[in-house]
Structure 1
Amino acid sequence: MNEDEAVAGTDPSGRNSRKLRVSRRLVIVSMSLVPLTLLSWPTMDLVLSTGQDWSFWRSAVATVVALPVAVLLIFLIRERIGVDGVTGDASSWKYWVSLALTLLCAALIQSPFSMMFTLGTWWCIGVFVGSRRRSAVVTAVLLVTPWLLTPLVPGDVNVGLYAAVWVGTMVWAVFLAAGFLMTIWLWDLTRDAINGQKARAQLAVSEERLRFARDMHDLLGHSLSALAVKAELAGRLVDRAPERAVAEMAEVQDLARRALQQVRSAVNGYREVDLPTEVGSVREVLRANGTDVTVTGLEGLEVPGDKAGLAAWVVREGGTNVLRHSDASECRIGFSVTRDASMEREALVVEVYNDKVRGPDKEDGLSSGNGLSGLSERVAMGGGALSAARTGDHGFLLRAIIPLAEPASPALRDRLRRNAGSAAAADPRG
């Protein structure tokens, strides 16, 4: 899979893929203009040779040699920018062949000006397509090359003018390289930004899959446990109380239809869990299993919808655990609102207790099953905390603390304390 396909995998509209493709093309085209200018230096030397006592064929061969150099530099730029998802150092053979041809071209060029600018043009690109160590060595070689080629320059060489052109070429090459560096930096930044967006999209998809799997476990775990209990009860009552068995099977059908509706709602993404309905459903199922259920604190309880939904998930998972992992004769479901004094906010406390947990008294807690582990993650995402532990009377207590509001700021907490102190001082009852 290339880079464009990877981006398109989390971008169905292809918008990010098009952005990356267009940006790459613009960068490659803009940077490829410089290699094309390399052709102008031997061409200028060829033109000057007609008015000077220079070798025409020498300049003509230099012009021909410069053509593959320009082509190789364009390919090096494409590989540095990244084509088909491949980025990094360019191919070594293209690098070294283009350098060798550039040195040959410089040796054939008869004008010192054109010769130095040919070397400077190659350096502006070559310094960014190789490793730092390689670029440092090649830079040193290119700096001394003009002085090594002075015997090939026709006529007498004015050392002062020659040195001035050499310095001017270096300054020009550095400025051009700075422009190249800025272009490459902007391209890398653009690519990293789009790849980061792709990574965030993939993370969001993974989180949504995890949420969906957790919801399916919670929904089907409770519903299938309830169906199993109802069906088992109906089977026991077939001979002793046929009419009640028929009623139980009708409830099994109703539970099955309700479970199917919940699954469809979850798949469509519009599922909302109602707290009183969930408590009633859990109480009905547990009572059918022979467990007496007591609910306290629900009447008159007013909490935000999302917090009520979270509390409903706690009750659902607690009821499922009672069915699967206990022989309880009593189950208590309690709701209470308390104030967190340290954070100056209210919290809803949900407790599900049963009096007889099944199995040996071994290590327990949130790691005992996928249901409680998923519920702990769900409560934590809501800013709360979940605990699950055996009690001294061989029971089991599931407790969730769900914050009902954001923590108060330090200034607000100080003001609340001052107001509370003023109210206490003004109370005539002392």
Structure 2
Amino acid sequence: MRTPGRWWRHKTTPEKVESYTRWSFHFFAVMEFFSVGLTSVAPLGPRLGGAVMLVVAVHAGLCFVTVSRAIDWTRGRRPQPTGLMWTLAAVTAAIAATAIGLAELGPDRESVDTAAGGVFGVILIFGPGIIALGVRSRRRAFAIAGGFAAGTWVIAFSLGAPVLTALFTALIVLIGGTFIAFTAVFSVWLLNSVFELDEARETRARLAVAEERLRFGRDLHDVMGRNLAVIALKSELAVQLAQRRRPEAVTQMVEVQRLAHESQREVREVVRGYREADLGSELAGAQGVLAAAGIDCTVDAATAAVLPAAVQSALGWVVREAATNVLRHGDARRCAVRLQVLEGRVVLSVENDGVSEAGTESGSGPSGSGLAGLRERLAEIDGTLEAGPAGQGLFRLTAEIPLPEQPGPSSAVPAVVAARSVSEVTP
């Protein structure tokens, strides 16, 4: 069973913003009930106060439901709750008119006037603001608050309130309703912007993968295009010569065989270039891709250039897989890559925050298939790989590879110097 903290931590940033927006406006409805619904019982008496509390509870419930439906409509999950908004507007106007009538025509007690004024003000301020969540046009959202303010002046004046008193009351409703409407408009804009930014980050990550595929395709085309064209022409020529029983057909087929072997070798070189990851390039590429996705990535790898080629290649694959997991899983904001040479071994650690439980289970955790392949690759050079939660919403991947020992006096030098000597003699 998940605790509330785990439930919140495992949400993505857009989901957190949506939950915050939704419950903020739900809190307005709850605050409306407790601030004017319950407090009306004492000054108005059990019977009248209970009726007012029930009416305010109905209005708060309508606001609660309208908030959920309007935010779902904003995210494209439901149709626009037009009927619900009209219902809320009618109930708001009816309660406000009843509150004014109670203050003007009800029992002549100060406590009654205070309770009726509180119900009137809170209802007319929160009602238009909640309705503004369900409209797209900003002008229309502010026009709703203005319409309720104008209606307030008309009703107050028609029930006998002085002109200045009715005007002052309408001005208070206008200011309060406009503020809540502005809050609703800004909250919807912020929520949509966060979702759009998250979609843009995912699009950038997909474009980076697509660009790499296109680059690989271009390299293959450049390598194979000319050779395949020549092979096709020479094969066609050899067929024609063979049909004429010309001995030159054998020469052409030998040339075709040579070109085929050459093409095979060139394809292996292209694939080998992708399979043998360069650690420096992978570190720079990971930092660039993560930065483009809005993730602050710091790299501390001053000793990368002095490592043996086999170690660099293996660690390059670790960096590539770790960066992919950070992009695909969780909602990371920070990522730190650190490379150290300690007592004859190389330790690479990649730590990021914002890892969700689903991401840990699907590939960035110890059971992920990508990390299983890395373990097999590191095992070939006696390396190890560990991955798992590091506490406080962090996830850490650590790769450790022993450096080859150097014979003779060089074995006594520090590990960094030994690694440099290995890299100098490695072809």
TM-score (norm 1): 0.47
Q: Normalized per residue, which structure has more helix?
A: 2
* Structure with max Cα Rg: 1
TM-score (norm 2): 0.47
